[in-house]
Amino acid sequence: MNFFQINSFIKHWFTSTNKGHGVHSPFIYQLCEEVFYNNFEFYHFKKLNNLRANLLQSKQIINFTDYGAGSKKLKSNTRAVSDITKYGISNKKQNEILFKLIHFLNSNTVIELGTSVGLNTLYLALPNKENKIYTIEANNELCLLANENSKKLDVKNITIINNLFDVALPNLLNQLNTFDVLYIDGNHTYKATLNYFNLALQKINIKSIIVLDDIYWSKEMHKAWTEIKNNKNVKCSIDAFYFGILFFDTNFIEKVEYKIKI
């Protein structure tokens, strides 16, 4: 972590709630119970853990062009799959929270920006194999690897789109009536993040959520998060430090914001 992240983490730790304490919304309290603080080991976690372990040992080298804000750990144009898995994707705990979130919400149509090695994509896809998962990745070699990993686990409800976010997301949204979950994990810049959010607003429904990864990745990224959570369409936001969740359900009588320890 850099100074901004360390300082932000300390502030977040002392201003956030734990175990759902202080959460007045019954829906958000249930979400805390079943998603953030649910220690149940789902059946799929074992094979996902095995895949993660294999990727962490992989000697495969990927030719890499970074189309976003770049990586704080990885700078080379060639990167080992093991390093991408270790430094370039969400950790096991965050992945499992996303799995539980999709399971809890019973989401049908999920969009992911940033496929990478495809491990996180599988956590989005496996809660319900009837779901439709659309994942976008500009790097062709990563798309091929993600496709291989899907085949290893016999997961067939994933559509991998090999293109730039700025091209693929508008095209995909034009083809969909709506979506249930949009997970943004790539191009951590202020301008791009706001752009993806504004594009998504055109296709939200009352139950849609948007998950923004790395909301404290930089001052610029946190500025984007702050502006987005204050958008009039957002009825509830959860700041879990490592990511933020936005809700648009008009059943929230008042706009509410929560900070949650995970």
Residue 216: partners with Cβ closer than 8 Å, 6 or more residues away: 4, 5, 8, 9, 12, 222, 241, 242
Mean pLDDT of 199-207: 95
Can you give the pLDDT at residue 55? 97
Q: Which range of residues forms the domain containing residue 25?
A: 3-45+89-259
- In the block, tokens 């976690």 appear at 45
Can you give the pLDDT at residue 80? 93
Mean pLDDT of 204-211: 96
List the strands of the sheet with 243-247, edge to edge: 158-162, 132-137, 109-113, 181-184, 209-213, 243-247, 236-239, 256-259
Percent residues over pLDDT 90 in the chain: 80
Can you give the pLDDT at residue 68? 58
Pairwise pLDDT comparison (257 vs 70), residue with the higher score: 257
Helix (H, G, I), strand (E, B) or coil at 250: coil
Question: With contact defined as beta carbons under 8 Å apart, do 131 and 117 qualify?
Answer: no
Can you give the pLDDT at residue 132? 97
- Check whether 72 has a pLDDT greater than 60: no
Residue 172: partners with Cβ closer than 8 Å, 6 or more residues away: 111, 134, 136, 161
Assign residue 173 the CATH number of its domain: 3.40.50.150
Q: Which of 67-71, 228-232, 246-250 has the highest mean pLDDT?
A: 228-232
Q: What is the 3-state secondary structure (H, E, C) of 147-161?
A: HHHHHHCCCCCEEEE
Can you give the pLDDT at residue 73? 56
pTM score:
0.94
CA distance 103 to 86: 25
Residue 40: partners with Cβ closer than 8 Å, 6 or more residues away: none
Can you give the pLDDT at residue 18? 79
Pairwise pLDDT comparison (74 vs 64), residue with the higher score: 64
- Check whether 70 has a pLDDT greater than 60: no
Closest C-alpha among 142, 100, 95 to residue 122? 95
Kindly compute the dihedral angle of the four CA atoms of residues 205, 162, 67, 183, in this order, to the nearest 10 degrees: 30
- Kindly state whether residue 40 falls inside one of the protein's structural domains: yes
Mean pLDDT of 113-141: 95
Q: How crowded is the C-beta side of 65, counted as CA atoms within 13 Å?
A: 8
- Kindly state whether residue 112 falls inside one of the protein's structural domains: yes
Helix (H, G, I), strand (E, B) or coil at 112: strand
Can you give the pLDDT at residue 65? 74
- Kindly state whether residue 62 falls inside one of the protein's structural domains: no
Pairwise pLDDT comparison (74 vs 147), residue with the higher score: 147
- Kindly state whether residue 15 falls inside one of the protein's structural domains: yes
Mean pLDDT of 231-260: 93
- CA dist list (Å): 9 to 13, 16, 73, 183, 260: 6, 10, 19, 22, 12
Can you give the pLDDT at residue 71? 52
CA distance 132 to 125: 8
CA distance 262 to 258: 13
- Kindly state whether residue 70 falls inside one of the protein's structural domains: no
CA distance 162 to 44: 26
- Kindly state whether residue 52 falls inside one of the protein's structural domains: no
The domain tally of the chain equals 1
Rg (CA), the chain: 17
CA distance 223 to 53: 35
- Kindly state whether residue 11 falls inside one of the protein's structural domains: yes
- Check whether 20 has a pLDDT greater than 80: no
Can you give the pLDDT at residue 35? 95
Q: What is the mean pLDDT of the chain?
A: 92
- Check whether 198 has a pLDDT greater than 90: yes
- For the purposes of burial, counting CB atoms within 10 Å of the CB of 135, is it exposed (0-12), middle (13-18) or buried (19 or more)? buried
Q: Quick one: tokens of 219?
A: 């001052």
Q: Which amino acid is at 84?
A: I
- Kindly state whether residue 148 falls inside one of the protein's structural domains: yes
